[in-house]
Amino acid sequence: MVAPLRVGIAGLGTVGAEVVRLIEQQGRVLTERTGRPVKVVAVTARSKKKRAIDLAGIKWAKDPLALAADPEVDCFVELMGGSGDPALSAIDTALKAGKSVVTANKALIAKHGLKLAKAAEKSGGALNFEAAVGAAIPVIKTLREGLAGTGISRVYGILNGTCNYILTRMEQEGLSFDECLKDAQRLGYAEADPSFDIHGHDTAQKLAILASLAFGTQVAEKSIYVEGISSIAPEDLKAADELGYRVKLLGVAMRTAKGIEQRVHPTMVPKSSSIAQVMGVTNAVTIDGEGIPPITLVGPGAGGAATASAVVADIADVARGIRAAPFGRPVDKLQATEKAPMERHEGGYYIRLMARDHAGTAATIATRLAEQKISIESIVQRHPPGSEPLKTGAKGGPVPVILITYATHEDAVHKALQAVQRDKVISGKPQVIRIEKN
């Protein structure tokens, strides 16, 4: 009889409790698939409150460090969260003791992943974190193993369900950002303090991990340009719809002639693209590989059951004896990367201006764009319903003008719009949204 894989779980929240339940429920299947039994032998959590799972026969460790050092535990599962202690010290302790580690902690992997991967290399244990990005979507395994023989040119996706839910509701119901955010909080899709999600930082942590796997670079969250969705207005989503686009908060990492570009920001994507069809709290990741059509993985990116399924899959790999390099290659082979200035980004742009409705305004805007060699693909001017076109020389209130540019550089767009503002032919701040082609 093969000895069971003895699992210790730190953290018994929604995900941890579901992991315990899944291992119990799928015990026979796991044994058949991995060739050895998988057994939860010890747990720890902040409190011993009653939970809707059976913990009979399972040892209760006094704290995460004690659990990580327990000689009767082969695989330490960290589900506490947080980018520092106790999660960091507990994982480090487990790895140095020669144990394998499974975690769903994106913040920890984004900040300390290289250090922990080095410890795993030294000890020979596994460090698995599939659940850290996309929950049930197997994007880590796809990049690290499934596409090991494929050169990756771009990986991008919807990595935050809260933001995708808000943008979906705004588009479908014409609601404001604030209205949709409040509803997301009421339904439990957004935290009481939603800033980490809506300002793009959650997406950035996940993108940092994906970029490392895709391009062999060191995990570097600080190298990512980050912009959130709070500036998006219903009129932007309506205009996008009419122009054949949909607005999504995307995390994008791509290989360019100047290096690896990493960015998080609201993005217009063609409605014909796979990623544009992903609505609500669902996540999706598209991978562009050399010699193959784009691959899009879609699924639940959060939630207890979805996250637990990825955690148990990682535990199953440990039981099988799989010891893949955490980031696809040895840590000392991962290349350093610098933050690519967004001024060098090249692509198409959506620009919405509140133009002063009088003679000469359009010519001034066109001149400033031409000075920066920006070509316009389309231009739409919207007068308020029922209003009459102004006569030559007459003046009225600001009128929305929407421009779609051909590919240009970010610094050119900013210089042109700064000049237009100095000319005082527009009111307020221009709205600029980048366009990501298929």
Active-site entry in 39, 141, 206, 248:
206
Which stretch of DSSP H or E encloses residue 347? Answer: strand 346-358
d(CA 117, CA 323): 11
Short-list 396, 369, 367, 366, CA closest to 383 = 396
In whole angstroms, give the CA distance from residue 394 to residue 184.
45
Asked if 265 and 250 touch (Cβ cutoff 8 Å), the reply is yes
User: How large is the angle between the packed helices 304-320 and 14-25, nearest 10 degrees?
Assistant: 50
DSSP run (H or E) holding 416: helix 410-422
Query: What span, in angstroms and rounded, lies between the C-alpha atoms of 284 and 160?
Result: 9
CA–CA distance, 241 with 235 (Å, rounded to integer) = 10
Angle, CA 21 vertex, CA 48 and CA 74 arms, to 5°? 80
- C-alpha angle 140-335-347 in degrees, rounded to nearest 5: 75
8 A C-beta contact, residue 339 and residue 406: no
CB atoms within 10 A of CB 263: 25
Rounded CA separation 18/233 (Å) = 38
Query: What is the per-residue DSSP string for 178-219?
Result: HHHHHHHHHTTSS-SS-HHHHTTHHHHHHHHHHHHHHH-B--
Contacts 24+ apart (CB under 8 A), 377-386: 377/348, 377/404, 377/405, 377/406, 378/243, 378/403, 378/404, 379/403, 379/404, 380/239, 380/242, 380/243, 381/355, 383/357
Nearest to 351 by CA among 366, 341, 371, 340: 366
Instruction: Write down the residue that tokens 């197997």 correspond to.
Output: 138
Active site residue 258: no
> Would you state the structure tokens that stand for residue 224, as one six-digit string?
């990512």
Evaluate whether 355 touches 362 at the Cβ level (below 8 Å).
yes
Catalytically active residues are: 206
